[in-house]
C-alpha cells in the first residue's frame, strides 16, 4: 500500500501537463469514428479513444470535457458537477497491479490518500479484480463524505507499458440510485488498447 502512495506522489506529473493542455487534448482524444467501433457504444454514450496513451471508455452523451490539472482527460455533467469521469496516468516501473498489492489494498490507498480530500471521511465499499484482453484491472466502489455532501464513486486501475492508469467516476450520493448503472457502465467500459 505504501508503494502505491510513493509511486503516485513521486510521479504525479502527467503527459498532459508536460505537453501543455489543450493541444494535447486535441491531438490524442478522439470520438470513435469507425462504424464498427460506434456499434459497440451503447445508446446514450460517447466513446473516447486515446491511441497515444492506449485506452478507451464510454461516458454519457451530453457531458462536457473540462480541463483538470493532473488528469489526462475529464468530462462532467454541466448541471450536476459531481457527476464526472476522469483518467489520470503516471509513470511506473511496476509491470503488474499485483506488485502494488491486492485490489483491496490498492483501492483503499487510492481512496484514502488520492481520491478524497483529507477533510473527507472515506469508506471503501468493494474492490475486485477483473481481466479483459490479457489485462488485469482493479475495480472499486467508495464513499467520500464531506460536511455538506457525499460523493459515491467508482474507479478502476490498470498498469501497462510503464503507465499506471486510474479512471474515476461518481455522483452525489443523493443521485446514486439514478446514476449507478451509468457510472458502472463507464468503469466497466474502460479498457487498455492491445
**Which pLDDT tens digit goes with each residue over 78-131?**
999 889 999 999 999 999 999 999 999 999 999 999 999 899 999 999 999 999
- Enumerate residues 6+ apart whose C-beta is below 8 A from 47: 31, 32, 37, 38, 40, 41, 56, 57, 58
CA dihedral 104, 9, 163, 166 (to 10 degrees): 50
Query: Average pLDDT of 55-61?
Result: 95
- Determine if the pTM surpasses 0.75: yes
Domains and CATH numbers, the chain: 2-192 (3.40.1000.10)
Give me the residues paired with residue 57 across strands. 48
Residue 143, all three cell numbers: 464513499
**22 — pLDDT class (breaks 50, 70, 90):** very low
Amino acid at each position: 500500500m505504501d508503494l502505491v502512495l510513493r509511486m503516485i506522489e513521486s510521479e504525479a506529473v502527467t503527459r498532459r501537463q508536460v505537453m501543455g493542455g489543450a493541444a494535447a487534448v486535441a491531438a490524442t482524444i478522439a470520438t470513435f469514428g469507425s462504424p464498427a467501433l460506434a456499434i459497440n457504444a451503447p445508446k446514450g454514450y460517447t466513446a473516447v479513444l486515446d491511441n497515444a496513451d492506449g485506452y478507451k471508455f464510454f461516458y454519457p452523451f451530453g457531458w462536457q470535457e473540462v480541463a483538470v490539472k493532473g488528469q489526462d482527460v475529464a468530462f462532467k455533467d454541466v448541471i450536476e458537477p459531481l457527476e464526472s469521469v476522469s483518467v489520470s496516468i503516471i509513470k511506473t516501473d511496476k509491470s503488474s497491479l499485483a506488485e502494488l498489492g491486492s485490489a483491496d489494498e490498492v483501492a483503499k490507498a487510492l481512496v484514502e490518500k488520492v481520491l478524497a480530500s483529507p477533510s473527507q471521511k472515506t469508506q471503501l465499499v468493494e474492490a475486485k479484480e477483473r481481466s479483459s484482453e490479457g489485462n488485469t484491472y482493479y475495480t472499486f466502489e467508495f464513499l467520500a463524505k464531506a460536511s455538506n455532501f457525499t460523493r459515491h464513486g467508482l474507479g478502476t486501475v490498470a498498469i501497462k507499458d510503464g503507465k499506471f492508469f486510474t479512471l474515476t467516476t461518481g455522483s452525489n450520493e443523493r443521485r446514486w440510485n439514478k446514476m449507478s448503472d451509468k457510472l458502472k457502465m463507464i468503469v466497466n467500459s474502460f479498457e487498455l488498447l492491445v
